[in-house]
Structure 1
Amino acid sequence: MRKDAATSQHEERTGHGAGTPAPDAGHHDAIVVGGGVAGLVAARELALAGLRPLVLEAWSSPGGVVGRHEVDGLALDAGAESFATRGGVVAALADELGLADRVVTPERHGAWVRLPGGAGPLPRTGLLGIPADPWAPDVRRTIGVLGSLRASLDRLLPARVGTADGTTLGALVRARAGRRVLDRLVRPVVAGVHAAEPDDVAADAVAPGLVAAVRREGSLARGVAAQRALAPAGSAVAGFRGGLHVLVDALVADVVARGGAVRTSAAVRAVARSGDGFAVTLGGPADAEGPDGADAPGGGTLTTPRLVVATPRAVDLLAGVAPGLAGLATDPGADIVLVTLVLDASALDAAPRGTGVLVARGVPGVRAKALTHATAKWRWLAEAAGPGRHVVRLSYGRAGDAAGARAGVPRDLDALTDLALRDAAAVLGVPLRREQVRAAARVRWRQGLPVPSAAHRETVRRVRAAVADVPGLAVVGAWVSGNGLASVVPDARATAAALAAAVPPDRPAPTAHPEA
């Protein structure tokens, strides 16, 4: 087996290839702290408004959880690998960036769920595992006739049942469709997508508009069907030929072309007021998501009239700038480990579990919470890999686990490869041997998936209110908008556009202290 040489947290998570020319720090009139997709989208929006943004990213490459790494000669996504098509907002951005012809949808193999009692398909017409038709053959196979009978009662229940304001997704599904739908379909999906439990997430946060649709349509199943009808024709998710990380490359190039700059390995230590603007001090510990507390090279202080903070560290960084943030703490997010295996395994040519498998809690002998069969999901990757070579990626770590993804998950890549191989064989239903592993890679993400609970949403509301009281300041990112690019992109665009419009154009341009 050949293994990737880069296995440290820093190397694994920051191996992006986007060009990031060194900025002229004295000629930028907006600073964005955080170079993930939210920060880059915000910077682009500022540039579209005629401003010159400077993005400061603590890692050695931009992108955040939309990262890239190379495994066995294949350029693969190291984090997110698809986006929800709802609203068409990501596709519209791709079109503006010249990526429209690279948007692709997954192969139509379907996905599965692995339960303690066996495996079954997930609904092809559903939302977060909630079926639009409880009697569809794929649904009935997984939840059984009793589960379909109980789910059918949904259409007889008054619309008010389970739809109270602020209800959790778990309470909504349990009340209307029953425990089999919740435990066998919804719970594994929410764990895989949000690294959370359905009873811990607000229904409106993870499925915007669903509760209102249930009230309007009179049933959960019809509400799901109505929500699916609002989505663009085709798949509910999409990606890019070459990987989701091509979006980051395009955003960086566009920001730079419009007069902005992206500076990597630039950790921000502190933020303070400076006259009518802000002083941003560099050279402190990197973001909690980045290198293990290593000091960023360089230092100094930059001043700016406009500041966008696009990192979950925003509450800590801005405590001295926005008094209303005192005492607030956002959800820390799940601790996730992703293991990528490249296998010589012709038995996987038939995609025995479709595009991937979500794993319910309590499956004997399986620690992974999800598996993506990437070469079955994306045709472009299958073509790049060639016949018989397959890419599978396993995810470890759920919110609420005693030690996050570290609980029972080895740090040593050899031991982790053995674990991932056993899990892959179990959930795919195909024997796999160690000698079939061509390469393996480990990536760890922290603070990547905040749990969208009612408490977190209330904290976010208070954060936004506190930040709104400070002219020239804004916050963006999944921690405020919700997980996924379909939430992150429109929020970052709207927030940055409002910031550009609100700050008087005659404010002085930022200056840099000589040591910066």
Structure 2
Amino acid sequence: MTDAASAASVPSHPAEKAVIVVGGGVAGLVAALECAKVGMSVTVLERDTRVGGVIRREDVGGVSVDLAADGFSTRGGVVSAVLDEVGLGGAVIRPDHGGRWIAGANGVAVLPAETVFGIPANAWADDVRRHIGWSGAWRAYLDRLRPPLTIGQEQSLGRLVRTRMGDRVRDRLVAPLSVGGYAVDPDDVLVDEVAPGLNAALTRTGSLAGAVAAVRAERDGGEDGLAGLSGGMSRIVDGLVARLSDFGVEIRTGAPVTGIGRAGAGDGRPWRVQTAADAVAADAVIVAVDEGAARALLADAAPQLASLAVDVAPTVPLESITLVLDAPGGAADRPGPVVHAVPGARRASTLLHQTGRWEEVRTEAGDNGLVARVTFGRPGVLPATAALDDAAATTMALAEASALLALPLDGVRLRGTHRYRYDQPPPATARGRAERATRARAALAAPGIALVGAWLAGTGLAQVVEDAVAQADALRRGVLFGGVAG
């Protein structure tokens, strides 16, 4: 968030500047707070009856569970800064780490320890051969005999792994993480984004396996941490809403915006936001909706955006089914807390064992309670549950949970279930994502308007928050210092 020195440099007239934020997801709320905290007059317009976007928490079978994001990356400290800002810094909790597992042709086994995004440092290690077999290990060993890349660098993670170590490493170790974790094919993942330093280490060490070992040594074995919030991730939404209220921000729910355009010469403010009820004049507009809605709303104000075409990984429709049930042993001795399926090996792509990850959920579920979220869908394939009614979808989810947890679930008592459908934009690591964001923002070609959201920043709360802060800061500087007409 913006520091006190930056806030102190704001001129004395920010309250005269009206900012409209279209969209009340986390990106919109964070951007609204960045403007409100320096004194600008801010209104948030949300078409739904609630704010928060995909961050939702519901009671399922007597247990309060997060339906989508249940944690956040601690990378860069950007989310932590927001939590401190809204008084939730002391509510941060850490998960019970049980590692990530992969479900494939040989059953369910833990992700090998000495890897970077599934790429092994030693193909002969027992935990690696469990997934790729002897033939896969021999093929991966050829990596040691191939010349390093000395001219240029491979950008595609999938192509790099396939070329150096073969299909089995790519398909059985790397693909489950990229498809199950981020809904993107490994061929569409940028090497330097998901594994910084790997290409340079490959040139230096002469092999991909050697590069993995070098990168791990430089990291001291550490990875970006995962954290959550006591009481669930929806508390960040509640905290943002309360903080915005402190600054007098008006949040209108059930207020769909139908268009954004230039105001008339005599309107006094340069922008006009049209809702179903009225038209609102503004000095600046922050558009915090999904890609399709942004293109439609800005069709007149920024026609270049509507026609913008960038080669990037597609948005993927997903469906998650949360199951709360009584199971023998409850959360004890189960794989997880995250199990990714080898693409095509199962109908589900990922299982999150929430009673295995969070102590609070385990306590609320009770001794024999088990809470699992089964996610369906992957690039190019509709969720297997898409055409099923609730009963059939629940039956499928139970069968997948049984296989991914290696736990018989026939005849268990199901306390409750919840279906949640959403669209997953490409992650920050996807090829073309950064270029699309740059071109989309350039297509606006107008002061006093900004675009924020996961379709530009990439999926993940840390990426969305960091991008929203940066864009809101640039916008308010332009409005307050850059001579944007009021």
2:286 aligned with 1:308: yes
- Deviation, 1:376, is 0.4
2:77 aligned with 1:95: no
1:356 match: 338
2:322 match: 340
Separation in 1, partners of 2:358, 2:388:
29
2:159 aligned with 1:171: yes
Separation in 2, partners of 1:412, 1:110:
33
- Deviation, 1:186, is 0.9
**3-state DSSP class of the match of 2:373?**
strand
Separation in 1, partners of 2:318, 2:350:
11
Distance 1:437 1:494, change over 3 A: same
Greater mean alpha carbon deviation, residues 410-419 or residues 195-204: 195-204
1:236-288 Cα offsets, whole Å, 9 max, x none, are 322222222222221222222122232222211111111552211113xxxxx
Separation in 2, partners of 1:228, 1:80:
30
2:366 aligned with 1:373: no
1:438 match: 415
Separation in 1, partners of 2:251, 2:308:
30
Write the letter of the residue equivalent to 1:98.
G
Equivalent position to 1:282, from 275, 295, 299: 275
- Deviation, 1:300, is 1.3
**3-state DSSP class of the match of 2:331?**
helix
Separation in 1, partners of 2:90, 2:148:
43
- Deviation, 1:231, is 9.4
1:400 match: 380
Write the letter of the residue equivalent to 1:186.
V
Equivalent position to 1:482, from 458, 462, 465: 458
- Deviation, 1:174, is 1.6
**3-state DSSP class of the match of 2:329?**
helix
What is the root-mean-square deviation of aligned Cα atoms in Å? Answer: 3.0
2:474 aligned with 1:494: no
Separation in 2, partners of 1:309, 1:319:
13
- Deviation, 1:58, is 1.7
2:45 match: 56
Within a 5 Å distance, the mapping from 1:419-434 to structure 2 comes to 419-434=396-411
Q: Is contact 2:157–2:186 with CA below 8 Å preserved after alignment? A: yes
**3-state DSSP class of the match of 2:348?**
coil
- State TM-score, norm by structure 2: 0.85
Separation in 1, partners of 2:216, 2:457:
20
1:4 match: none
2:93 match: 104
Distance 1:326 1:442, change over 3 A: closer
List alignment gaps of at least 5 residues for structure 1.
1-25, 284-298, 510-516
Separation in 1, partners of 2:77, 2:148:
29
Distance 1:204 1:218, change over 3 A: same
**3-state DSSP class of the match of 1:445?**
strand
Separation in 1, partners of 2:359, 2:151:
41
1:189 match: 177
Within a 5 Å distance, the mapping from 1:185-264 to structure 2 comes to 185-204=173-192, 206-207=194-195, 210-211=198-199, 214=202, 219-221=207-209, 224=212, 226=215, 236-264=225-253
- Deviation, 1:204, is 4.2
Distance 1:356 1:450, change over 3 A: closer
List alignment gaps of at least 5 residues for structure 2.
1-14
Q: Is contact 1:127–1:228 with CA below 8 Å preserved after alignment? A: no
Separation in 2, partners of 1:417, 1:66:
22
Distance 1:161 1:216, change over 3 A: closer
Separation in 2, partners of 1:347, 1:427:
16
Distance 1:258 1:163, change over 3 A: farther
- Deviation, 1:46, is 1.3
Separation in 1, partners of 2:180, 2:388:
21
**3-state DSSP class of the match of 1:347?**
coil
- Deviation, 1:502, is 1.0
Equivalent position to 1:71, from 60, 66, 69: 60
- Deviation, 1:114, is 0.9
Greater mean alpha carbon deviation, residues 225-234 or residues 499-508: 225-234
- Deviation, 1:221, is 4.7
- Deviation, 1:473, is 0.9
1:444-498 Cα offsets, whole Å, 9 max, x none, are 113555796535543332112122x210111111111111122111111111111
1:291 match: none
Separation in 2, partners of 1:216, 1:244:
42
Distance 1:375 1:277, change over 3 A: same
1:287 match: none
Separation in 2, partners of 1:133, 1:52:
58
Write the letter of the residue equivalent to 1:315.
R
Separation in 2, partners of 1:369, 1:341:
16
Q: Is contact 2:92–2:230 with CA below 8 Å preserved after alignment? A: yes
Separation in 1, partners of 2:183, 2:367:
33
- Deviation, 1:147, is 3.6
Distance 1:61 1:198, change over 3 A: same
- Deviation, 1:504, is 3.1
**3-state DSSP class of the match of 1:392?**
strand
Write the letter of the residue equivalent to 2:25.
G
**3-state DSSP class of the match of 1:438?**
strand
